[in-house]
Structure 1
């Protein structure tokens, strides 16, 4: 007696080929989503900016800016205070600011004097940045 094994049907062959295709599609979607997320982090946001008033002058004859910058990453947010003459906020004097509640209450006011700039945060904290720290190209 001879036993005949039926040949695999067309449906079985198609599902065998669809498996790797579906897995490849899922991997592709996950990689694309990861790339989009990675391109968006870290992000930088300027929360506050103030320009030196015309009534205050410094020895370097430049116009200066003070700004509060939030650096946002996947793991945490950090805050830096910038003082300098670069309006793009890339080159100057930076001070790390770690104050509870600063995200909800950033800078309340700034006071520019020939000695430097006094920054008052909404949290009630104050920080003084001496002019020598941000003048002369720093």
Structure 2
């Protein structure tokens, strides 16, 4: 009986630890604004993340913010096919961040949408 209780405790611990590690997030692309474009006095960073949940579903999202790994910023969902194929380039200008995907799609994010502490 004691052995059964220990085994149940081990299985429960493994299940809790596994569930606590989901959703699983992996950064699949990074870009930083050039030093010549300080925007509001700060550098900005773009990252695209691949998020996998327990059911095996995968989604993609981008965040643009003042810190490379900050949990806050300007968040944008990305269509799965565009995310899976990846980002080809990111061009930072005074007025926008233009993101080109390997699928041929382009996304323009106005600088006003991600600057100013968002």
* TM-score, shorter chain, exceeding 0.5: yes
* Residues 97 and 36 (structure 1), Cα distance of their counterparts in 2 relative to 1, 3 Å cut: same
TM-score (norm. length: structure 2): 0.86
Are 2:65 and 1:84 aligned?
A: yes
More strand by share: 2
Q: Aligned equivalents of 1:61 and 1:28: distance in 2? A: 53
SS at match of 2:81: coil
Q: State the distance in 2 between where 1:89 and 1:47 align.
A: 15
> What is the CA-CA distance between 1:32 and the residue it aligns to?
2.2
Which one of 74, 83, 94 corresponds to residue 102 of structure 1?
Answer: 83
What SS does the corresponding residue of 1:62 show, helix, strand or coil?
coil
- Partner of 1:26 in structure 2? 7
Q: Which position in structure 2 is the counterpart of 1:61?
A: 41
The unaligned stretches of length 5 or more in structure 2 are none
Runs of 5+ consecutive residues of structure 1 not aligned to the other structure: 1-19
Provide the aligned C-alpha RMSD in A: 1.7
TM-score (norm 1): 0.75
Indicate the structure (1 or 2) with the bigger Cα radius of gyration: 1
CA gap 1:107/1:101 in 2 versus in 1, 3 angstroms: closer
Question: Residue 118 of structure 1 corresponds to which residue in structure 2?
Answer: 98
Equivalent residues, number: 117
Quote the offset at 1:27 in angstroms.
1.7
